[in-house]
Amino acid sequence: MYILYVFLILIPILAVVALLLTERGGSLKKTINFFTSGFDLGFKLSQILFLWKIARQTELDDPTSLFWSLPVLDKSIAEIVQRARQTGMENDESTQRLLSRLYAFRTKMELEHSKKKLGVESTRDLLINQKVRILLRGIGVFSSRVVRNTSKALVLDYPASPTVLATSIKWVGKDVSIYFWRQDDAGYVFETTITPDPVSDGKAIIHVAHTNSLIRSQKRKSIRAKCTLNAQMYLIKPEDELESLLEPEPGMKCRIEDLSEDGAMVYIGGKAVKNMKIKLQFMVHDVLIVMAGIIRAVEFNEDLNQSRIHFECEELNPRMKNSILTFVYNVLPEEEKQELDAIRLTEEDGLANAESAESEYTEGSEESPLFPENDPESVLDEMQDLPDFATDIR
């Protein structure tokens, strides 16, 4: 009887082992491995099922790589985009819904990678010339920068403010909050104290105590891409609703230097106004993009009569959003990448030639009339200035 029980237990086990050794069993083993890996890494069942669908569609050799590899995920997205174009399903609602979910997952993965790679945990990691904002509660916010970073303290330029006389404040012993933005990462804030330093007494610097307690003051919700895109800008009246409808008439010329699905960094001639409603219209990968939103901040260069606008998008068609994400993540099919690379390299050759000509011209004259088109500090000669009434919009 005992032997019978052993056989009853062994037979199912042997059957499973035999199945796993077959081609069908290998597929089952891969499926089980995929789901267990997903759960081990903390993924939810809905996410695992979604990624398994993508792995099957793109026939990945190692489906588990979708959990951790951005290049594999990019390749899978590119393949889905290419197949959709070949079958004429690019604008199909189900395709756009699939891409939206993929890009949302990809953005989350990108931000997690950035956090691990670029996150800063101590003030000892701050670089020289890092710009900081010092909040002295009850008094105001002051500008400064890192001039030295020693083992004992962080040395900053003497604080400056357009509204408060910084030299009238006895800084030593003050508790302050210091904010800074780390390039390609996020904003941070830390609490610290201004410490005395007899050696530096009388010099235009302050010392602050180091800390390992840094907090992210602003987490990015989207990934941005540097670019140079010509666009049209349209002003929207304060009482009008934001709508991403196509504008048939030409608008004011501007240039986009930084783009994400949530907004853009835009250069335009003239002085722009914060909180103004605007609409941007431009082309990305043969797709017309219309972004409607609000100017959240303006940096005006009086010498160049040029504004750098921080634009936040509040209205964007899902297909246009996916096109922007395709551009940002650079997951185009290979043949289109090559075409764009050729165009980009040609433009770089043109810029190199222009810089060479500018250098030769400068040797024979004091002033050069050449302004490289991709230089954010150059004068936007061909762009229309904002009309006078724009400054009255509040």
Residue-wise pLDDT for 297-330, tens only, equals 999 999 999 999 999 999 898 889 999 988 887 7
What pLDDT band is residue 215 in, cutting at 50, 70 and 90?
Answer: confident
What does the pLDDT look like over 31-86, one tens digit per residue? 888 888 888 767 788 878 888 888 888 888 788 888 778 888 888 888 888 888 88
List, for residues 337-352, the tens digit of each pLDDT value.
555 555 554 455 545 5
- What gap in Å lies between CA 268 and CA 299, rounded to an integer? 11
Q: Read off the DSSP letter of residue 240.
A: S
In the three-class reduction of DSSP (H, G, I as helix; E, B as strand; rest coil), residue 276 is classed as coil
| Predicted TM-score of the model (pTM) | 0.53
Q: Give the residue among 234, 302, 308 at the shortest CA–CA distance from 264.
A: 308
Distance CA 16, CA 32 (A): 13
Instruction: With cut-offs at 50, 70 and 90, classify the pLDDT of residue 367.
Output: very low
Tell whether the model's pLDDT for residue 218 goes beyond 80. no
- How do residues 246-289 score in pLDDT, each as one tens digit? 999 999 999 999 898 999 999 999 999 999 999 999 999 889 99
Alpha carbon dihedral 124, 126, 131, 136, in 10-degree steps, equals: -30
Q: Is 236 helix (H, G, I), strand (E, B) or coil?
A: strand
In tens, the pLDDT along 166-180 reads 999 999 999 998 888
The closest of 265, 200, 233, 248 to 387, measured between CA atoms, is: 233
- Domain annotation for the chain: domains and CATH numbers: 2-118 (no CATH), 123-213 (2.30.110.10), 225-334+379-392 (2.40.10.220)
d(C-alpha 266, C-alpha 309), whole Å: 5
For 17, the 3-state DSSP assignment is helix
